[in-house]
Amino acid sequence: MSDVWTIKAALDWTVGYLERKGDENPRISAQWLLSEATGLSRIELYANFDQPLSLDERDVLRGFVARRGAGEPLQYITGEVGFRHITVQVRPGVLIPRPETEVLVSEALSLLPPAPKRVAADAWAEEALEGGAAVPDPADDTASEDAPDAQVPAPELLVADLCTGSGCIACSIAFEHPLAHVVATDIVPEAVALASDNARALGLDDRVEVLAGDLGECVPSCMIGALDLVVSNPPYVPTAVLADIPREVADFEPELALDGGSDGLDVLRRLLPWCGAALKPGGAFAFELHEGHLDEAAALAREAGFQDVRIVHDLAQRPRVLTARKADACS
Ligand code: GLN
């Protein structure tokens, strides 16, 4: 390797090294690591192939490449991951958000009443003032049709996200539903700290409250019986399956966030009675579970008295999410 290390040379060297170390996507890893080391976007890397790396950038890149070569997940090295419409920070000790959990959030959101147009428009306008979203067209004056409703403040929707981890679910729900107030809990201090940091970094800490505790034990008692939605991605990998998971997961991600007991449903058995008490009549839950146990989980939910029990498939067409409603007071 010559004294000058251009972006192209660094990229080629990193791809070759990671390939030899058994990385399944060496080029993608190399792009992300180089991008993180230089502060350039992945596109900018290709536009600046001849640019030399500074000595500091070389050192940083070498450290990253050694970690990736030892099998550490890319997201722990870059420190962040895209999740639906937001980017969340991730750190060792806390589970990395997965694409299937984006499906869980879709389903959870679909169980909430939609935000009235006026509230949604206000949220857009606020974001636009901060330089974010496009402002809705003022000529499209559909809001005036809603004027009588708009005078009554829309009620907040109460959501609990149990085993929040990075907070990706809680933050996405608050980001995508302007009326959602989310209490996010986790038993692991690193997760509580990370979820709080994510809520703050996304400007959602007024609507995402992160609390330390086991499942629902720390949810304020005034919310019990009043929740509109309970959502959770609990540890659900059956213990026997855990023995065979890829080393990249087993060696680096927290076992506590994965191990769901012999059939993967240990936590579900605790969640169901809690939801029975904590949801308001007509409130709903959405849980991510292990693909091999959704039928059993649905049967447990029905036995516990829940209605509209549904199994939803993930993007890989595997059964993944269980949703249901608590009976309405008058049904
Ligand atoms: N989807 C994760 C995996 O397969 C499991 C997450 C969990 O147990 N909540 O690695």
pLDDT digits (tens, 9 = 90+) for 126-142: 655 565 545 445 444 44
Q: Is 189 annotated as a binding residue?
A: no
Cα 12 to averaged position of ligand 1 atoms, centre (Å)? 33
Does residue 260 belong to any structural domain of this protein?
Answer: yes
Q: Residue 321 is part of which domain span?
A: 91-114+155-326
Same structural domain, 104 and 47: no
Same structural domain, 321 and 267: yes
Q: Is the pLDDT of residue 64 over 60?
A: yes
Q: Is the pLDDT of residue 154 over 90?
A: no
Cα 252 to averaged position of ligand 1 atoms, centre (Å)? 13
Distance CA 190, CA 208 (A): 17
Closest atom of ligand 1 to 100 CA is 1
Same structural domain, 110 and 57: no
Task: Please tell me if the CB atom of residue 172 comes closer than 6 angstroms to any atom of ligand 1.
Answer: no
Task: Please tell me if the CB atom of residue 258 comes closer than 6 angstroms to any atom of ligand 1.
Answer: yes
Does residue 222 belong to any structural domain of this protein?
Answer: yes
Task: Please tell me if the CB atom of residue 93 comes closer than 6 angstroms to any atom of ligand 1.
Answer: no
Task: Please tell me if the CB atom of residue 235 comes closer than 6 angstroms to any atom of ligand 1.
Answer: yes
Q: Is 25 annotated as a binding residue?
A: no
pLDDT tens-digit map of 215-237: 999 999 999 999 999 999 999 99
pTM tops 0.95, yes or no: no
pLDDT tens-digit map of 294-327: 999 999 999 999 999 999 999 999 999 999 999 9
Pocket test for ligand 1, best of 231, 232, 288 (most atoms within 8 A of CB): 288
Does residue 84 belong to any structural domain of this protein?
Answer: no
- For the sheet containing 208-212, what is the strand order? 208-212, 180-186, 157-162, 227-232, 279-288, 319-325, 307-313
Cα 38 to averaged position of ligand 1 atoms, centre (Å)? 32
Q: Is 233 annotated as a binding residue?
A: yes
Q: Is 48 annotated as a binding residue?
A: no
Same structural domain, 52 and 110: no
Q: Is the pLDDT of residue 205 over 70?
A: yes
| Residue 215 amino acid letter | L
Same structural domain, 61 and 173: no
State the total domains in the chain: 2
CATH number at residue 19: 1.10.8.10
Same structural domain, 174 and 229: yes
Rounded average pLDDT over 147-162? 77
Q: Is the pLDDT of residue 143 over 50?
A: no
Cα 36 to averaged position of ligand 1 atoms, centre (Å)? 26
Cα 226 to averaged position of ligand 1 atoms, centre (Å)? 29
Spell out the residues 6+ positions from residue 119 whose beta carbon is closer than 8 angstroms to its own.
Answer: 154, 178, 179
pLDDT attached to residue 120: 61
Task: Please tell me if the CB atom of residue 287 comes closer than 6 angstroms to any atom of ligand 1.
Answer: no
Same structural domain, 106 and 46: no
Does residue 130 belong to any structural domain of this protein?
Answer: no
- For residue 199, give the H/E element and its range: helix 189-201
Does residue 133 belong to any structural domain of this protein?
Answer: no
Distance CA 258, CA 241 (A): 10
Same structural domain, 181 and 245: yes
Cα 235 to averaged position of ligand 1 atoms, centre (Å)? 7
- For residue 120, give the H/E element and its range: helix 117-129
Closest Cα to atom 6 of ligand 1: 258
Cα 157 to averaged position of ligand 1 atoms, centre (Å)? 28
Task: Please tell me if the CB atom of residue 98 comes closer than 6 angstroms to any atom of ligand 1.
Answer: yes
Same structural domain, 67 and 172: no
| Residue 150 amino acid letter | A
Task: Please tell me if the CB atom of residue 233 comes closer than 6 angstroms to any atom of ligand 1.
Answer: yes
Residue 266: DSSP 8-state: H
Lowest mean pLDDT among 2-16, 18-32, 230-244, 273-287: 2-16
CATH number at residue 236: 3.40.50.150
Does residue 231 belong to any structural domain of this protein?
Answer: yes
Pocket test for ligand 1, best of 258, 314, 322 (most atoms within 8 A of CB): 258
Residue 144 banded pLDDT, cuts 50, 70, 90: very low
Same structural domain, 294 and 205: yes
CA-wise closest residue to 218 among 173, 180, 186: 186
Does residue 120 belong to any structural domain of this protein?
Answer: no
Residue 329 banded pLDDT, cuts 50, 70, 90: confident
Closest atom of ligand 1 to 163 CA is 9
pLDDT tens-digit map of 83-117: 999 999 999 999 999 999 999 999 999 999 998 77
Given 42, 71, 100, the domain boundary residue is 71
Same structural domain, 100 and 14: no
Does residue 235 belong to any structural domain of this protein?
Answer: yes
Residue 240 CA, distance from chain mean position: 26
Distance CA 219, CA 205 (A): 16
Same structural domain, 46 and 192: no
